[in-house]
Amino acid sequence: MPEAPLPFAVREFLGQPHPAALATLGRDGAPQATAVWFLLEGEVLLVNTARGRSKARNLDRDPRVALAVFDAQEPSRSVQVRGRVQGRREGAAAAADLQRLSRHYTGHDFPAAEDRISYLITPESWSSYGLIEGD
């Protein structure tokens, strides 16, 4: 897998509201994959979840993640990013992040939600299929 930084074609792909699955590691080391919304913010990927969910507990315990992103119109086009959680936002900042995610994916604000946490993931390596010549 090539190391970060992400090339233009990958950044452009990640800037679109594609479906994604976030893989985290459970207490016993077993992987858990969860459908997520994400945003690429500069060089960082943002995901958001409700406090107390399994992925939040997993991310708080072990910052290593993989994000698999698929083109809904052409599923053979995809990107996988491996990285680490390098920061988090809570409270009003995480609630605002959820609204930005919702508008990015649905065009509308998200209805009232439980207590949220945003995780900021720094990519360490990536791979793609169908985006860059030679994939």
Strand (E) or helix (H) holding 54: helix 54-61
3-state secondary structure of 96: helix
Note the pLDDT of residue 134. Answer: 63
Tell me which residue of 60, 68, 117 sits closest to 85, measured CA to CA. Answer: 60
The overall average pLDDT reported for the chain is 93
Calpha distance 40→14 (Å, rounded): 6
Cis upstream peptide for 5 (omega within 30°): yes
Note the pLDDT of residue 132. Answer: 76
Calpha distance 87→13 (Å, rounded): 23
Give the residue ranges of the chain where pLDDT is below 50.
Answer: none
Note the pLDDT of residue 78. Answer: 97
Q: Residues near 105 by Cβ (< 8 Å), separated by ≥ 6?
A: 17, 37
Domain ranges of the chain: 8-126
- Provide the pairing of β-strand 31-36 with 78-90: unpaired
Question: Domain 8-126 class?
Answer: mainly beta
